[in-house]
Amino acid sequence: MPRPLNIAYSPCPNDTFVFDALAHGRVPDAPELAVTFADIDLTNGMAERGEFDVLKVSYAVLPWVLEEYALLPCGGALGRGCGPLVLTREPGTAADLAGRTVAVPSERSTAYLLFRLWAAAQVPGGVGEIVVLPFHEIMPAVRAGSVDAGLVIHEARFTYRNYGLSCLADMGEHWEDTTGLPIPLGAIIAKRSLGEETLKSLAAAVRTSVLMAWDDPEVSRPYVLQHAQEMDPQVADQHIGLYVNEYTAALGEDGYAAVRGLLTRAAAEGLVPPLGRDALTFV
């Protein structure tokens, strides 16, 4: 019997929804998985160290890991109307961030690349200090005034008003307005050393797991809510609705264009290494 594939993904509702059927052995002829939960800033580091067979990572980390890992054409998170937000205590404009301190969840995240690309175009003279904080600490830090602004992702789109904060800018809106492409957020990658047959089998199993979750969403609900970190069930459903979509089932032409567009623009700004010509090709 082949060994289980070691996989790490986040406890966020979109990931548990996508992987529920596969993680629980309900996908026929699929590779067995040994699951570890870790937030995406941790899985990005795991990928750079080559620690797992399969990982959910930020698209922003791909330029550092694609020699060892292949990008799967499914299972990830892209979308429209779901980008990161820049939050402040008071309403303002992009110019107000000039020289200011901004908290971000990671400097190896798609959210950070989108923010830097936006700031390069919109903030005269650029922002000031960048402070990396755990995701759950960013909104409290903005509210307390220990940072001037915060870059937030995921369910914070639905909850930031509970902290009395204002949305200064929507990074996804800026990306979509300037490119017309979906927002590339999280990717599924797997070690190339697994071999072409295993990689193809894994990709097919991930896609089937997505389709099974759509066919009967209630089956995955206990798994989703078990790991949703006390998230309100309605917010969990909104989260899934935003981040699990046609691009999760298959990246497609627009999905690949979005990924390459983000990483090419980021490389031009010196934020990431340039991509190789065939770096995104799947086996």
Q: Which of 144, 168, 156, 145 is nearest to 87 (CA)?
A: 168
Residue 228 annotated in ligand binding? no
Residue 110 annotated in ligand binding? yes
Question: What is the C-alpha separation between 209 and 23, in angstroms, rounded?
Answer: 9
Q: How far is CA 178 from CA 44, 171, 182, 185, 242, in A?
A: 27, 11, 11, 17, 20
The DSSP 8-state label assigned to residue 275 in this structure reads: P
Question: What is the C-alpha separation between 212 and 63, in angstroms, rounded?
Answer: 31
- Whether residue 206 contacts residue 74, with contact meaning beta carbons closer than 8 Å, is answered with yes
Phi–psi pair at 24, nearest 5 degrees: -105, 20
Helical H segments across 56-180, by residue range? 62-65, 110-122, 135-144, 156-159, 171-179
Q: Tokens representing 86?
A: 């820049």
Residue 191 annotated in ligand binding? no
Residue 200 annotated in ligand binding? no
Residue 111 annotated in ligand binding? yes
Question: What is the C-alpha separation between 190 and 127, in angstroms, rounded?
Answer: 35
**What residues act catalytically?**
154
The DSSP 8-state label assigned to residue 27 in this structure reads: S
Catalogue the E-assigned strands of 143-234. Answer: 149-152, 166-170, 183-191
User: Known binding site for substrate: residues?
Assistant: 56-58, 110-111
Give the residue numbers of the binding site.
56-58, 110-111
